[in-house]
């Protein structure tokens, strides 16, 4: 159990990446707190009784004070990020000690272990602005959604953005193949199928294949693996905490894992070929996806004929138009030669993606209307 006695504090800044300060003489409590720090991937500083290193109290990103040490720390400089850790839910005096200490929260172990691990992990990872997360989905099979997802990620990475590409379609063949990196070292989705709770963002990023300056979570060439919603939730949340941009290639079939991904996506792009049958199929997809994703926009893959232009197609779907994606001559040959989608900065696909990111990331203020 954890309870707040002061308003919520802002997230730690990017510079504050060191572990918390633990202050306690209770060896059993210390063992528990060290175990929780290890689970969060943090290396704490330990002070028995009271901090002795100059600046440790003022500079630590988070301070975990055992209730046994609360009275000795009265009079310390008031600061944010102090948690008082106790065990006895029936000890009402702990609230007075928390006020005297200036603690933000009181946490009772073992009830608050999960909450406390999350708080420790936040400071260990230096959580700041979350990644802008874009989902790409095809209005029908073969619409080119995977190609656009890869091109968006390649273009963002080329511009110097921290970029992660997540393959959410287990039947799509693997985005690492489309990027020419099926043999690259790193983990694939089956390694994360049993993920629960919190996944460390830094560990996730470092474990994935790096292709074209971006990190890719794709599928292997083994048997199909079902990814539970809990695993999708944990992995995508970890990816978003790293900041930058995250691009998710989504299947048209909405299962529990896909619904979980849609719930964490800021903006969805529905790729619609400029054909009447494709528009009809896309309408069904848009209706289903729109029940979960509030911001879904149409990308019309041209060329458009005289009967239907891009704005008319978006209007038939009841979606805002994100833009028209013109054909890219020689794309198949470029892929065969190992060049990823969007690899040529002068191609129509790359220009579309560059313009999209310029609008979406304008001023880092969120997704434009």
In angstroms, the CA 208 to CA 205 distance is 6
pLDDT in tens, 104-125: 999 999 999 988 988 888 787 7
In angstroms, the CA 319 to CA 59 distance is 49
In angstroms, the CA 112 to CA 121 distance is 14
In angstroms, the CA 142 to CA 39 distance is 43
Q: What are the φ/ψ torsions at residue 124 (nearest 5 degrees)? A: -65, -35
pLDDT in tens, 179-214: 999 899 999 999 998 887 778 788 899 999 999 999
User: At which residue do the structure tokens 């896309």 appear?
Assistant: 282
The four Cα atoms 90, 92, 94, 99 give a dihedral, to 10 degrees, of: 150
In angstroms, the CA 333 to CA 1 distance is 59
In angstroms, the CA 265 to CA 130 distance is 11
In angstroms, the CA 245 to CA 108 distance is 36
Q: Would you place residue 9 in the very low, low, confident or very high pLDDT band (cuts 50, 70, 90)?
A: very low
Q: Which long-range contacts (CB under 8 A, 24 or more apart) does 85-92 make?
A: 85/24, 85/29, 85/33, 85/109, 85/116, 87/29, 89/1, 91/67
Q: CA dist 159 to 145, 265, 344, Å?
A: 21, 21, 13
Fold of 132-362: Rossmann fold (3.40.50)
What is the pLDDT at residue 15? 39
Q: pTM (2 decimals)?
A: 0.73
What is the pLDDT at residue 367? 52
Fold of 2-125: Rossmann fold (3.40.50)
Cα-only R_g, the chain: 24
What is the pLDDT at residue 223? 75
The domains of the chain are located at 2-125, 132-362
Among 88-102, 113-127, 237-251, 316-330, which is the least confidently predicted range? 113-127
What is the pLDDT at residue 40? 82
Q: Do domains 2-125 and 132-362 have the same CATH topology?
A: yes
pLDDT in tens, 24-44: 999 999 999 999 998 888 899
pLDDT in tens, 156-179: 999 999 999 999 998 887 899 999
In angstroms, the CA 229 to CA 134 distance is 18
Of all residues in the chain, what percent are helix, strand and coil, respectively (each to 5)? Answer: 40, 15, 45
């Amino acid at each position: 159990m954890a309870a707040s006695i002061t308003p919520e504090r802002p997230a730690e800044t990017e510079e504050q990446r060191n572990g918390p300060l633990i202050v306690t003489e209770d060896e059993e409590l210390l063992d528990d707190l060290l175990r929780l720090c290890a689970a969060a991937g943090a290396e704490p500083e330990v002070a028995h009784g009271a901090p002795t290193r100059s600046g440790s109290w003022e500079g630590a990103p988070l301070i975990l004070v055992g209730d046994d040490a609360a009275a000795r720390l009265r009079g310390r400089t008031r600061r944010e990020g102090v948690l008082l850790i106790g065990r006895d839910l029936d000890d009402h005096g702990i609230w007075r000690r928390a006020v005297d200490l200036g603690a933000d929260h009181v946490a009772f172990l073992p009830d608050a272990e999960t909450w406390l691990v999350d708080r420790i992990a936040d400071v260990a990872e230096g959580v700041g602005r979350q990644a802008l997360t874009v989902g790409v989905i095809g209005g029908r099979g073969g619409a080119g959604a995977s190609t656009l997802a890869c091109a968006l990620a390649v273009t963002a990475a080329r511009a110097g953005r921290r970029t992660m590409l997540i393959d959410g379609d287990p039947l799509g063949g693997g985005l690492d193949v489309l990027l020419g990196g099926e043999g690259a070292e790193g983990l694939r989705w089956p390694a994360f199928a049993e993920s629960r709770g919190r996944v460390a963002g830094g560990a996730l990023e470092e474990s994935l294949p790096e292709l074209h300056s971006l990190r890719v979570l794709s599928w292997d060439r083994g048997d199909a693996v079902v990814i539970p919603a809990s695993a999708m939730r944990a992995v995508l949340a970890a990816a978003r905490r790293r900041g930058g941009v995250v691009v998710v290639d989504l299947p048209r079939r909405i299962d529990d894992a896909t619904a979980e991904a849609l719930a964490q996506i800021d903006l969805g792009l529905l790729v619609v070929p400029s054909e009447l049958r494709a528009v009809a199929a896309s309408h069904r997809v848009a209706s289903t996806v729109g029940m979960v994703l509030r911001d879904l926009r149409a990308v019309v893959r041209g060329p458009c004929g005289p009967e239907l232009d891009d704005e008319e197609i978006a209007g038939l779907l009841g979606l805002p138009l994100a833009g028209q994606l013109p054909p890219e001559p020689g794309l198949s040959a470029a892929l065969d030669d190992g060049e990823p989608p969007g690899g040529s900065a002068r191609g129509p696909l790359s220009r579309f993606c560059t313009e999209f990111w310029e609008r979406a990331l304008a001023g880092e203020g969120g997704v434009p209307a």
